[in-house]
Structure 1
Amino acid sequence: MESKKRPVLCIKTRRTNTSSCADAGEVREGPETEEERGRVREEEEPVSPSGLLFRQRHLDCYIVAMVGIGKTIDVAAIKAGLAATLVNHPRFSSVQVGRREKLKWVRTEVAVDDHVIVPDLDLKSSTSSVTGDKVVEDYVSSLTTAPMDASRPLWELHILNVRTSEAAAVAVFRIHHSLGDGVSLISLLLACTRRTSDPASLPTLPEPRPPPPSPLRPNALLAVLLYAWAVLVLAWNTVVDLFFLVATSTWLRDTPTPLKGGEGVEFKPKRIVHSTVSLDDIKAIKNSMNCTINDVLVGVTSAGLSRYLNRRYGEDDAEKRKKKQLPANIRLRSAMLVNVRPMLGIQALADMMEGKTCGLKWGNFLSYMILSFPIVMYKDMLDYIRKGKAIVDKRKNSLQPVIMYRCAHFFVRKFGIKGGAAIIYKLVSNTTFSFSNIVGPVDEIGFYGHPIVYLAPSVYGHPHALTLHYQSYMNTMKIVMGVDESVIPDPHQLLDYLAESLKLIKEAISTR
């Protein structure tokens, strides 16, 4: 698909007298004077170990964020908005120069027209919103196998003026994961938006709920005993989690199921689908069960995957299909990405794009947490929430993600980037799917004057056939799945099972 030709709009940033050629191993034209060499040293920064991991062949990951827009997109307005904000960010105006094992960020000039792509889509057969959904899905799926030009900053914005069942148009960001972790990049995207009710104001995120006050007032001795017990529990959970982390990165594999991808799944095209459910329903379950939204989502995911696998097992066997009986003791886990630093403030990111010094340290500050999902057909739907809460509580009360982050950097220094990547690849490929939950704005926001209807982020390039993201926005929760259709040929049906599981759990709350 070819993009429409438009006049090139170049945005000048700090320049170096170098030519950018990723993976070339050398920079062909160097600075000539000592002053220029000093300026180059200031503007060149090594790519972090986490960023290097995402440039390795089996972990070459990209973030895709589909943004539903409430009106036809004005391409010129989008380009002007990006020119004033996003291209001022250091990572979005830099290229990676050097070999894969030792890359550096080098500032360059940004031609916005090179990054904003308006494909010429065949819409002759698009006579309904359902057809529009398929056109967008097919286009985004084609992006998951299309290479990105490494001689430019590794990001793109694809504008699809196609009406779908939920939006008048769709904007699709594609960003290489080495530019930053998912939470930081979504926060950066939100920093480019403004509230539609007050165009001068940044989006508002929900305030974290403070912990409930303790009903007890322990004396000094009891307080010491409780503290000692908490430390012991933290230490025990950390040791157990580290054991399973090491075991998973070496020999402990998930049970082969119709959800688990095989060798080379990271190179196959992915179809990204999404569905919308009520955030109010999730909050009602959370309040009734005295848990968190993440606990509810883990329980809903466990219920939906169980129902889906219950159907998939025995599809070719009439007797098993009649019984619909899941195999016992299925080990099904997610490699859950965890941000090991506090969330970046949207205001600070907006200041960064305005050139203000805010002291933010950008990059990938990621670790992994192994999260188990029970695959069983409970009679009481609320058991999925109870079990999910128990599992998440143990993971919260553990230092494993922080230790894992430190260990990953140690392995990279000790065994090199290829050795570290091999360990991470083994860890991820021995689990079944990826899982994350990202908090979004509570008010409607606009993207350079275009009202946003929904946010649907995903990621591809890692060795999983299923990637599951939950993204909240206003009073809705978007369920986003990236799947390998050769493994999961009916992704929309899996989405339906997840949405139906939420509905059944909500009904169980009402009739309890």
Structure 2
Amino acid sequence: MTNEEEPLSPMARVFQSPCIDYCAVTTIGFKTKIKPDVVLDALKHNVSKHPRFHSKLSDNGAKWIETEVNVEEHVVVPYIDPEEIGEDGEGFVDDYISRLTWSPLDRSRPLWDIHILNVKTSEAEAVGVIRTHHSLGDGTSMISLILACTHKTSDPTNKLSTSIPSLKRRQTASYNLRNERWFLFSTIGSTVRLIWNTIVDMLLLVATMLFLKDTETPLKGGPDVGSNPKRFYHRTVSLDDIKLIKNAMNMTINDVLVGITQASLSRYLNQQYDKKNEEDGSYPNNLPGGIRFRAGCTVNLRSEMGFKPLADMMAKDSKGRWGNYFSFITLPFSIGLQTDPLVYLKISKSIMARKKHSYHAALAYLIIKLGQKVLGAEVTARLFNRHVMNTTTCISNVVGPMEEISFRGHPIAYIAPSCYGHSQALLVHFLSYAGKMTISLAVDPTVIPDPHKLCDEMEESLKAMKAALLERGLL
């Protein structure tokens, strides 16, 4: 094989820097036991079709170099003693995946591996763990890869080209006003707000990289949080409930998810500030005033947002390219107890509407790209990491298959994506799949020892919002 070289994208350069080194962990629950020979056979036939999975990083981390792949070296099937595990399948899987965060991927070969755990949990008969370096691709890319390897459970001959809805970016709404003068004034006003919002966002971005830090809360990680082992937890909720709230409140799915996250983090922090009331179940407002709590939120930069067949994403001039083609915005969360759960939704809708009326995401990506050319990759990565360290968390939402899918006769129960290597104590990922929404948390257990309570608060916040709408006759 010829050692062809290809440069890394700007975000890929950031993710493989020594001060960051992000890895993605995708946990997949299966409804049947996993047959390792089936997995190996599929990999032997498909790895060669995907350049990233048969390429390694150059010594300076700037280019991909094609190489030979021994698939057996990338598939791990550990010996599992059923008696040792007993009834605690979840505990074994949680511990196993956490241990993966202790050991880096081997940079002398392609940066991925697959772990097959034939352990029964409450949601699955077996669990597969795909670990990839984040420089290989973002969440959109990884889901496209999963789709390329699976088929609809109800129709094994269907390769899922229509299993994910085709998404397009929202166009600027037409004013459709008869009064042209008013239309002109509205356009000028909107443009001025866009410029002003962008300037403010860029000043805050630079300030956060240099000195502006979030308030120290029980969810804020310390300086060593990036190198600490992480643990992963997930909770599955109804996607239909989220859509009901979305329609009733005239919002987007992302608006609802941000509202749920704000509500659950507020409730969790309130408990942490006064644990003595935990036993009797009463939680008065113990939150200090003026908490600065910000979350990075990933933004897909592809001009075509819908999922494309893997071959189309790999095409050089594709508008839905494979790789790390995303940026981020910074959301100022409103941390506080609200007697009306719908207030969290109204706040999130306002925050998201303000952020959509800004070029923050596009300019942040451009700054990273220019920074690597002017300051070098390592300095740019350190500045990026300072922004991550000075904020509290990050949230991401990826659209998954609408119908149940299977991998070569193995039906999939859930898909839970997450990451580690980040300089934050909490990451929140959302992924929709077959009528459900999976909420995945990556936590530093030295900072957040009870992540299951965060999952509980996420679920309870969703239920409270739905109940409030039902009570008011809005559903």
Q: TM-score range by the shorter chain?
A: over 0.9
For residue 253 of structure 1, what is the aligned residue in structure 2?
213
Give SS of 1:206's match: coil
User: Greater Rg, structure 1 or structure 2?
Assistant: 1
* Distance in 1, Cα, partners of 2:75 & 2:306: 26
Q: Is the 8 A contact 2:264 2:458 kept in 1?
A: yes
Give SS of 2:85's match: coil
For residue 199 of structure 1, what is the aligned residue in structure 2?
156
Indicate yes or no: 2:374 matched with 1:417: no
For residue 74 of structure 2, what is the aligned residue in structure 1?
115
Select the residue among 447, 455, 463 that pairs with 1:495.
455
For residue 396 of structure 2, what is the aligned residue in structure 1?
436
Question: Which shifted more, 231-240 or 393-402?
Answer: 231-240
Q: Is the 8 A contact 1:306 1:375 kept in 2?
A: yes
What amino acid does structure 2 have at the position aligned with 1:271? R
* Distance in 1, Cα, partners of 2:24 & 2:391: 20
* Distance in 1, Cα, partners of 2:122 & 2:412: 14
1:114 CA drift (Å): 1.0
For residue 39 of structure 2, what is the aligned residue in structure 1?
78
Select the residue among 46, 50, 53 that pairs with 1:92.
53
* Distance in 2, Cα, partners of 1:357 & 1:326: 51
Unmatched segments (≥5 aa) in structure 1: 1-14, 17-39
Question: Deviations for 1:422-450, whole angstroms, at most 9, x for unmatched residues?
Answer: 11011110000111111111111112221
* Distance in 1, Cα, partners of 2:83 & 2:285: 43
Question: Deviations for 1:119-162, whole angstroms, at most 9, x for unmatched residues?
Answer: 1123313333xx11111111000001112111111011111111
* Distance in 2, Cα, partners of 1:89 & 1:308: 43
1:227 CA drift (Å): 2.2
Q: Classify 1:71/1:333 alpha carbon distance in 2 versus 1 (closer, same or farther; 3 Å).
A: same
Indicate yes or no: 2:293 matched with 1:336: no
Q: Classify 1:157/1:467 alpha carbon distance in 2 versus 1 (closer, same or farther; 3 Å).
A: same
1:410-489 to 2 correspondence within 5 Å? 410-489=370-449
Q: Classify 1:380/1:425 alpha carbon distance in 2 versus 1 (closer, same or farther; 3 Å).
A: same
For residue 11 of structure 1, what is the aligned residue in structure 2?
none
Select the residue among 265, 288, 291 that pairs with 2:248.
288
1:366 CA drift (Å): 2.8
Percent identical? 45
* Distance in 2, Cα, partners of 1:336 & 1:330: 19
* Distance in 2, Cα, partners of 1:498 & 1:140: 22
* Distance in 2, Cα, partners of 1:470 & 1:332: 20
For residue 124 of structure 1, what is the aligned residue in structure 2?
83
For residue 4 of structure 1, what is the aligned residue in structure 2?
none
Q: Is the 8 A contact 1:291 1:389 kept in 2?
A: yes
1:171-186 to 2 correspondence within 5 Å? 171-186=128-143
1:350 CA drift (Å): 4.3
Select the residue among 140, 143, 153 that pairs with 2:100.
143
What amino acid does structure 1 have at the position aligned with 2:297? M
Give SS of 2:376's match: helix
* Distance in 1, Cα, partners of 2:355 & 2:407: 36
Give SS of 1:312's match: helix
* Distance in 2, Cα, partners of 1:235 & 1:60: 34
RMSD (CA atoms): 2.2
Question: Which shifted more, 332-341 or 387-396?
Answer: 332-341
What amino acid does structure 2 have at the position aligned with 1:247? A
Unmatched segments (≥5 aa) in structure 2: none
What amino acid does structure 1 have at the position aligned with 2:16? R
* Distance in 2, Cα, partners of 1:81 & 1:352: 20
Q: Classify 1:352/1:279 alpha carbon distance in 2 versus 1 (closer, same or farther; 3 Å).
A: closer
Indicate yes or no: 2:66 matched with 1:66: no
* Distance in 2, Cα, partners of 1:345 & 1:114: 33
Q: Is the 8 A contact 2:302 2:321 kept in 1?
A: no
* Distance in 2, Cα, partners of 1:212 & 1:482: 35
1:20-419 to 2 correspondence within 5 Å? 40=3, 43-100=4-61, 103-128=62-87, 131-203=88-160, 204-208=163-167, 216-315=176-275, 323-343=284-304, 346-350=307-311, 359=318, 361-419=321-379
Q: Is the 8 A contact 2:167 2:305 kept in 1?
A: no
Question: Deviations for 1:353-377, whole angstroms, at most 9, x for unmatched residues?
Answer: 8xx8875754322322111111110
Question: Deviations for 1:228-247, whole angstroms, at most 9, x for unmatched residues?
Answer: 22222211211111111111
Q: Is the 8 A contact 2:167 2:306 kept in 1?
A: no
Question: Which shifted more, 481-490 or 50-59?
Answer: 50-59
* Distance in 2, Cα, partners of 1:256 & 1:266: 16
* Distance in 2, Cα, partners of 1:207 & 1:399: 24
Q: Is the 8 A contact 2:105 2:111 kept in 1?
A: yes
Structure 1 stretches of at least 4 aligned residues deviating more than 6 Å after TM superposition: 209-215
Question: Which shifted more, 339-348 or 104-113?
Answer: 339-348
Q: Is the 8 A contact 2:144 2:309 kept in 1?
A: no
Q: Is the 8 A contact 2:270 2:283 kept in 1?
A: no
For residue 22 of structure 1, what is the aligned residue in structure 2?
none
Q: Is the 8 A contact 2:271 2:283 kept in 1?
A: no
* Distance in 2, Cα, partners of 1:317 & 1:508: 25
Give SS of 1:441's match: coil
What amino acid does structure 2 have at the position aligned with 1:336? C
When the two structures are superposed, what TM-score results if normalisation uses the length of structure 2?
Answer: 0.93
* Distance in 2, Cα, partners of 1:63 & 1:407: 24
Question: Which shifted more, 145-154 or 201-210?
Answer: 201-210
Give SS of 2:78's match: coil
Question: Deviations for 1:166-201, whole angstroms, at most 9, x for unmatched residues?
Answer: 011111100001112222222222222211122222
Q: Classify 1:374/1:245 alpha carbon distance in 2 versus 1 (closer, same or farther; 3 Å).
A: same
Select the residue among 427, 441, 466 that pairs with 1:506.
466
Q: Is the 8 A contact 1:68 1:171 kept in 2?
A: yes
1:485 CA drift (Å): 0.6
* Distance in 1, Cα, partners of 2:265 & 2:51: 41
State the number of aligned residues: 465
What amino acid does structure 2 have at the position aligned with 1:92? F
